[in-house]
Amino acid sequence: MAIPRRAGVRGHRGQFFADEIVDFHGLLITSRTRTWLDCARKMSIEELTVVADHLLRIPRSGFEARSEPYATREELADMLDRHKGTPGIRKARLALELARVGSDSAPETRLRLALEYAGLPEPQLNVPTELSAGVVRQPDLAYPEQKVAVEYEGEGHSDAAQIIRDIAREEDFARAGWLAVRVSKRHMHNDARLAVAKIPSALVSRGWSPK
């Protein structure tokens, strides 16, 4: 097969197994897991971890037209084993080690990684938590032992109706003795330094001590 050559197009040759090519409305494209591996050539470890978290994420029933994740950890590992020596594969292996099931967005993954790099405990991710009888909340990141909930609030949280829901959520946490730490896009600049600075003080105020 000839490599495509035209303005704005750069062609590549590669080795593909049959299940790495899928039909998307009549167009043959690489599968999600194979595309993730191919992106390892150019992406950073953090970027690859963001994508891996997205692939591993379990859909929320009632909100999405699927019930299974795009990939399992075993499927991503198998993709790496198939293509040993591929450029970027070391970064992909490190990203898979860092990947977790539970992040609902790229900022949540980046925040989790920033906390890990800062030496903070690994939080739970979007785990339903019963605060009181009939009141269940699902904090983006949580430290149940210290009762600290970390919520990332993107642009959608500026909507008037969402603001009301956010206030109600924070009140639910407060009534249950939890401390809610709110993180916005502003806190994520410069490797999430502002966000990372907020969370240790919250944990310490709840009895956690750095080792």
Report the sign of the C-alpha dihedral through residues 92, 96, 99, 102, in that order: positive
Per residue in 33-53, pLDDT tens?
999 999 999 999 999 999 999
Per residue in 100-133, pLDDT tens?
999 999 999 999 999 999 999 999 999 999 999 9
Q: Tell me the C-alpha distance between 11 and 9, whole Å.
A: 6
In this prediction, residue 65 has a pLDDT band, given cuts at 50, 70 and 90, of confident
DSSP β-ladder status, 148-153 and 135-137:
unpaired
Query: What domains, with CATH codes, occur in the chain?
Result: 18-101 (no CATH), 102-211 (3.40.960.10)
Global pTM value: 0.89
On the question of pLDDT at 157 being above 70, the answer is no
Q: Tell me the C-alpha distance between 55 and 29, whole Å.
A: 17
Per residue in 187-204, pLDDT tens?
999 999 999 999 999 999
The stretch 139-168 carries a mean pLDDT of 86
